[in-house]
Each structure stands twice: as C-alpha cells, then as structure tokens.
C-alpha cells in the first residue's frame, strides 16, 4: 500500500543525538539498534527483506544483517508466529512483522494458544521474548482488512503484553524495550502516522515501557488515547484551548498491562474523562478504562466516562472511513457533552 521506493541506502549512524525523524524511520533505527546490540535478535515477516517491508520499516536491515537475521518468510502468518515460538525457545529474540492488522488472524491460534501460555504452562521454564509488530488502524484509504484495530483481542489474553507508540521518540525507544522484554509483546504501530515527524534523542534515557504518559496538562477534562488517536487528542486539546477549555491529554502507550495511575490522578482533578480509540467500543480497551475509572474515581466524577471510538461495525469501505474514525470534532463534541453534564 505504501509508495514504493528504490532507495535502500543504509542508515548511517546518527551524527547528532537529537534528530528529527518520522515514526517509520525511528522504528527502522530502533530495530537496527536492537539488532546491533544483540545477535540473537532476528526479523521475520513477509516482504521485509529485499523490499524492506511494505511500509519500509525494515528497510536496509537484510542488506546489512543478512538473510539469516532478516527472514523473508513464506506467506502464512501462523507459520511466522509458530516458527518464531520455536526460535525463541532455541534462544532467539524474534521480531515478527504482520503486514497488516487484518492479517494477524491466521496467526491468532498460535498467539493465544502458545505464545501467551507457554510461560504459564511451564511455570517459567520457557520464556518467549518475541515481538509481534502490527501496523494498525485506518485512515489510509485501503481495501478491506488493511485498516483494523484488533488490539483488544490481545489485551484480553493473559500472558501477552500489548503496547502502542504514537510518536517518533517512543517508536525508537519502545521497539527496543519491547525486544528487550522477556514477555511476548504485541507492538501496534499507528500506520497512518508513520510519516509524522518528531524529535528523537538517541542518547536519552527512556522511561519505562509499560507506563502511560501525560503529554499535555489541563484542568477541565481528561482525554485518554493511544496510537494514532493521540495526535487527534492533542489537536482537539489545542482547538479546545482556543475556546478557553483546558484539556489534559494522556497517551496510554501500554494497553496490557494498563497503567492507569496517571489517568486516575488526572480524573480526580478534572472530574471528566473522554476515551478516544479507533477500535469498536464494545468490550474494548476504552470499555476497560471506563470500568476502572468509575471504580477508582467514583466520587470525583462530574460526568459519566464517555468513549469516542470507531463504530460497532466491520471497518467500512474507505470512502466512509472519515465518518467512521473519531476526529477532532467528535472528540470536542464529547468533551462538550461531558462539560455540560
């Protein structure tokens, strides 16, 4: 789906520690850094070698690390995940790329039956330090199965950890931290934000992986989002500020385990919470946050927790995705409803 490029030049080592990078480039550099740091780190996926992945996230890696560390695999997702399990048992740290969100389901059985449960089944005798990278979410005008947000399935499954980055700095650091983690990590990448730019300090000490982060402080209401919706939430906060409304924005970053302490703290101050996510709302990450917040912040809430999400439908034909996906106006509308309660 991404525009093809013939440019396969090797990423040069950063001349300066602080660079302006796209999310896709930051991921590429993070993967490279992880491969350099540990020879057991290998990449597996469809078209990730010569082509560099359909989104070019693994661009140049096979050229520099060889076909035994960047595997262009046969075209079968269960095979990618299932063989990664065996490689992880053998001592490797596989990083699997699922080409698009909607293609993870052939691998679902291996993920929930083996990846999630082997550590528990063996009571810690087998560790599966593997990462499953998933470009997810809509907004790219794609055909069916290329725009989904399946993160709730995995957050619902004990034994897996689930994270999502929203900016280049997190992309660079979180992918390396996920690879370092001894638990299997589902790593959701906001594909429509791949080309957004931001500063990355490659010498900085990153914060913990499984922690949410307050990106903007505010006093009137709290917005919680993750992945591609963080940008939408930040834009909504900027727009609201022009109207004199002060919104706090929290990037969840980790979906399992959820790190809601900053959300509870925020809601106790603002009394209002709007959760923003592209995924359908029924039985979702957004539902879980609403449940936990009402449990922990019951007496602080000035209004019910509201969710702004994709609808409870299959992902629609792309000419309708603008209506389907939460946008700045729908977020502000929910904020208004919360404030008017």
- Sites of contact with other proteins (CB under 8 A): 42, 68, 73-74, 76, 78-79, 81-92, 106, 109-110, 113-114, 118-127, 129, 158-159, 161, 181-183, 256-258
Pairing of strands 131-136, 185-190: parallel
Instruction: Identify the residue whose tokens are 């057991």.
Output: 40
Contact by Cβ (8 Å): 221, 197: no
Q: Give the residue with the Cβ less far from other proteins, 234 or 285.
A: 285
Place of tokens 């990278």: 133
Compare residues 84 and 250 and give the one whose CB is closer to other proteins: 84
Q: Which is nearer to other proteins, 96 or 134 (CB)?
A: 96
Phi, psi of 275 (to 5 degrees): -100, 130
**Complex with other proteins: residue 36 or 182, whichever CB lies closer:** 182
Tokens found for residue 157: 């499954």
Please say whether the beta carbons of 76 and 110 come within 8 A.
no
Q: CB within 8 A of 15, min separation 6: which ones? A: none
Q: Least distance (Å) from other proteins to the CB of residue 41?
A: 12
Give min distance, CB of 88 to other proteins, in A.
8
Residue 179 CA to residue 15 CA, distance in Å, equals 24
| CA angle, residues 162, 167, 170, in degrees to nearest 5 | 55
Kindly state the smallest distance separating residue 56's Cβ from other proteins, in Å: 24
Nearest CB to other proteins, comparing residues 181 and 240:
181
Give the residue with the Cβ less far from other proteins, 119 or 268: 119
Q: Least distance to other proteins from the beta carbon of 236, Å? A: 28
d(CA 254, CA 273): 18
Residue 122 C-beta: closest distance to other proteins, Å = 6
Whole-angstrom distance, CA of residue 135 vs CA of residue 133: 7
Spot the catalytic one: 119, 145, 146, 333: 146
State the nearest-atom distance from the C-beta of 297 to other proteins, in Å. 16
| Cα–Cα distance for residue pair 80/77, rounded to 1 Å | 5
Cis peptide before 57 (omega within 30 of 0): no
Tell me the CA distances in angstroms from 268 to 234, 301, 306, one per residue in order.
Answer: 20, 7, 16
146 is an active site residue: yes
The neighbouring-strand residues paired with 93 are 41
List, by residue number, the catalytic residues: 146
């Amino acid at each position: 789906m991404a525009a093809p490029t013939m440019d396969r030049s090797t990423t040069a080592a950063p001349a300066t520690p602080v660079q302006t990078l796209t999310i896709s480039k930051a991921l590429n550099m993070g993967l490279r850094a992880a491969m350099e740091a540990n020879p057991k780190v290998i990449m597996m996926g469809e078209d990730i070698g010569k082509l560099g992945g359909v989104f070019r996230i693994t661009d140049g890696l096979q050229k520099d690390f060889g076909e035994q560390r960047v595997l262009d695999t046969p075209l079968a997702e269960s095979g990618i995940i299932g063989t990664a399990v065996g490689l992880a048992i053998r001592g490797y740290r596989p990083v699997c790329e699922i080409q698009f969100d909607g293609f993870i389901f052939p691998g679902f059985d291996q993920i929930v039956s083996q990846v999630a449960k082997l550590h528990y089944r063996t009571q810690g005798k087998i560790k599966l330090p593997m990462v499953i990278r998933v470009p997810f979410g809509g907004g790219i005008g794609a055909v069916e199965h290329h725009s989904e947000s399946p993160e709730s399935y995995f957050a619902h499954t004990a034994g897996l950890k689930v994270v999502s980055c929203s900016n280049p700095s997190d992309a660079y650091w979180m992918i390396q931290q996920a690879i370092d983690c001894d638990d299997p990590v589902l790593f959701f990448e906001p594909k429509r934000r791949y080309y957004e730019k931001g500063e990355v300090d490659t010498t900085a000490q990153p914060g913990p992986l499984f922690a949410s982060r307050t990106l903007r402080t505010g006093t009137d209401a709290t917005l919680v989002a993750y992945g591609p919706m963080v940008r939408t939430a930040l834009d909504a906060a900027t727009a609201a500020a022009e109207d004199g409304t002060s919104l706090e924005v929290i990037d969840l970053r980790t979906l399992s385990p959820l790190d809601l302490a900053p959300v509870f703290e925020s809601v106790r101050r603002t009394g209002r919470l709007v959760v923003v996510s592209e995924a359908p709302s029924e039985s979702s990450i957004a539902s879980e946050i609403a449940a936990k917040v009402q449990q922990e912040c019951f007496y602080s809430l000035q209004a019910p927790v509201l969710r702004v999400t994709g609808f409870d439908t299959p992902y629609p034909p792309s000419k309708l995705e603008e209506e389907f996906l939460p946008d700045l106006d729908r977020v502000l509308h929910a904020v208004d409803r919360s404030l008017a309660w």
